[in-house]
Homo-oligomer: A and B are copies of this chain.
Amino acid sequence: MKRLSRDVAIIGAGMSKYGMAGNRITTRDLFIEAYQDALQSVGKGIDPKQIEALYIGNATSDLFEHQLHTGPIMANWSGLIPRPAVRIEDACASSGVAFREAVMSIASGIYDVVLAGGTEKMTNLPTPEVTEVLAYALDGVSEFPSGFTFPGVYAAMCTAHMAKWGTSAEDLMRVAIKSHNNAALNPKAHFNMDIKDIMRDRQEKAAKEGKNYSWKFEMDFLSDSTQNPVVAWPLRLFDCSTICDGASCVLLAAADVTSNFTDDPIYILGTGQASEYPLHQRKELSSIMATKNAAGQAYEMAGIKPKDIKIAEVHDCFTIAEIIALEDLGFFNPGEATSDINEGVTKRTGRLPINTGGGLKAKGHPVGATGTGQVYEIWKQMTGKAGPRQVVGRDLDFGLTHNVGAHGTTVAVHIFGKK
């Protein structure tokens, strides 16, 4: 079994507001917001000079901002020149992989204190163009040229899951409702409101335009084809994560120096990463092999089982992705996640709270920022700093993050503990 040569822990984490940042804000501005938040989060304080390297996840700054070589740009903007800076692009798993590289870099003996972060500015372009650019993360030989974009890819996986396990549109909607309810308690979420508030908002706007419509309860709204139109059947608007701007930042240290920075380090007990084929080469569309593989590595390294995990952030780029993830991570049996979700198991107050920050669905999905944004949420929860959305009444001794690149062609899984 593989072990890290040195133990590594989180000493602080930060996040920018996720959402529409406006056209005057750039990738680097977003990162600085997260970076400063992370610096301030370090219990005993940190001198930026102590940070020895930067690992920056970013998927699209070259395409959206004509900015390649994002690593040293972030080093310069944050005042960290001459520290080495690595830009990692693994699509939506960019900062999950950056986090893993940062952990390994400390374990390698080269560094003691390292920054892992991610940043993405996506809202400058119209949605169809963003959708096209993101589709470049599919296989450029077999998938993109055949007309696939991500809603279509996940719709294919969704129909496979429906055919095999009887998953319904209502099952998907319950995932979205739960995520929005969590995001309502997260002031940094893109949609910092629950579904009812969103409905009220839309109703008021419609009334101003002289239109009128009625709604009774959440499910009505979500199945209303005017309010929740089909994007790629069976996925509707509220099954899709948001295109938004944002950044996140985690500070890591070798276990033997964490006491200089904090009294409650959160240790990385396990890390796993795997790759997967494009869709047409897969034998199975209703699960993602790379998730099972990466999670298997992480569980083995941590020496724990799925049932030991008390809280997790999973990659819900679409509602169906969350359902598949919960099964692939071993939290529920294949085909049974939906019944557990329907019983409230994954709610903030349930047995296994999932995506307490709102998930990609409602907290937002600034792609390069998502991986370390998940780590930020788990760190907040495990250190008891999550404010109104804090999970209470139990010891969150083991947490997990699950970050997916594209349609699972990359997956990074991390397991966290208080040691």
Contact = CB atoms under 8 A, between A and B. Distances in A.
A139 interface: yes
Which of A69, A81, A84, A273 has most chain B Cβ within 10 Å? A69
Given A101-B101, A105-B104, A82 B405 contact: no
Contacts of A211: none
Contacts of A141: 26, 28
Nearest to A84: B273
B85 A281 contact: no
Nearest to A83: B275
A82 B406 contact: no
A100 to B, nearest CB: 8
Contacts of A101: 86, 101, 105
A65 B140 contact: yes
A66 B134 CA distance: 10
A406 B76 CA distance: 14
17 contacts: A4-B109, A5-B109, A28-B141, A53-B273, A59-B68, A62-B89, A66-B144, A72-B90, A72-B410, A75-B275, A76-B281, A80-B275, A82-B274, A86-B88, A86-B90, A103-B108, A105-B108
Contact of A2 (B63, B76, B90, B110): B110
A90 to B, nearest CB: 6
Given A2-B110, A76-B278, 12 more contacts: A59-B68, A67-B136, A68-B137, A72-B410, A81-B276, A84-B274, A84-B294, A84-B410, A85-B275, A86-B101, A87-B90, A108-B108
A374 interface: no
A290 interface: yes
B275 A84 contact: yes
A157 interface: no
Given A89-B87, A89-B89, A275-B81, A69 B108 contact: no
A73 B109 contact: no
Interface of A: 2-6, 26, 28, 53, 59-60, 62-63, 65-73, 75-76, 80-91, 97, 101, 103-105, 107-111, 134, 136-141, 144, 271, 273-278, 281, 289-290, 293-294, 405-406, 409-410
A359 to B, nearest CB: 22
> What is the oligomeric copy number?
2
A292 to B, nearest CB: 9
Contacts of A85: 90, 275, 410
Contacts of A53: 273
Contacts of A76: 139, 275, 277-278, 281, 409
Given A104-B104, A139-B73, A277 B110 contact: no
B81 A277 contact: yes
Contacts of A109: 2-5, 107
Given A82-B274, A82-B293, A276-B82, A89 B68 contact: yes
B136 A62 contact: yes
Contacts of A6: 5
Contacts of A271: 110
Contacts of A281: 76
Closest 5 interchain pairs by CB? A84-B273, A5-B5, A107-B108, A104-B108, A5-B109
A111 B63 CA distance: 33
A24 B108 CA distance: 41
A68 B107 contact: no
A269 to B, nearest CB: 14
A101 B55 CA distance: 11
Contacts of A81: 275-277
A274 B294 CA distance: 31
Nearest to A134: B68
A296 to B, nearest CB: 10
A393 to B, nearest CB: 36
A11 to B, nearest CB: 19
Contact of A136 (B2, B66, B405): B66
